[in-house]
Amino acid sequence: MEEDSTLQSFQQKVSELLLRHRSFLDIISKFQESNARVNRALIKAVTECGCIQVHGERQNFPSSFSPAWLASQLNTHLHGDLCDHCLDIVRSEMGKNLFYLAALCNLLELRLDQVIDQEMAKLRTFGIFNLR
């Protein structure tokens, strides 16, 4: 599968390039830090740039509903689109986050593509009952 080879290539490149922060503690702390940076980039898109807005409100769940109806009715609370500048920053921060996820997979001798395949299998098996 082409996707797997891309993920495997990415994971291999991470293994080749990660030298300084190769310890387990460094990797998990950098992974957490990179996740926070993704969140910060998105928050800045709202608070500094304004290209996206968040309108949070309570979600109403009726007592009986079909999964298709529910998916079409629930609000993401997100309005607008990331501008090019914010999109570049968010992509960059997400890339760093993926780098440290791949590094963690390497350290634990896991293949990133297999982690994704396993999660996909759960999604396919449980479908709507996999609600998160």
Residue with tokens 């290539």: 9
Residue whose C-alpha is closest to residue 109's, from 32, 28, 11: 11
Each as own residue / partner, the long-range contacts of residues 42-45 (CB below 8 Å, 24 or more positions apart, any chain) are: 42/90, 44/86, 44/89, 45/82, 45/83, 45/86, 45/89, 45/90
Collapsed DSSP state (helix, strand, coil) of residue 75: coil
What per-residue confidence (pLDDT) applies to 113?
95
pLDDT digits (tens, 9 = 90+) for 67-122: 777 777 788 899 999 999 999 999 999 999 999 999 999 999 999 999 999 999 98
Domain edges within the chain: 24-108
Q: How high is the pLDDT of residue 17?
A: 93
The DSSP letter of residue 58 is: P
Res. 64 pLDDT band, cuts 50 70 90: confident
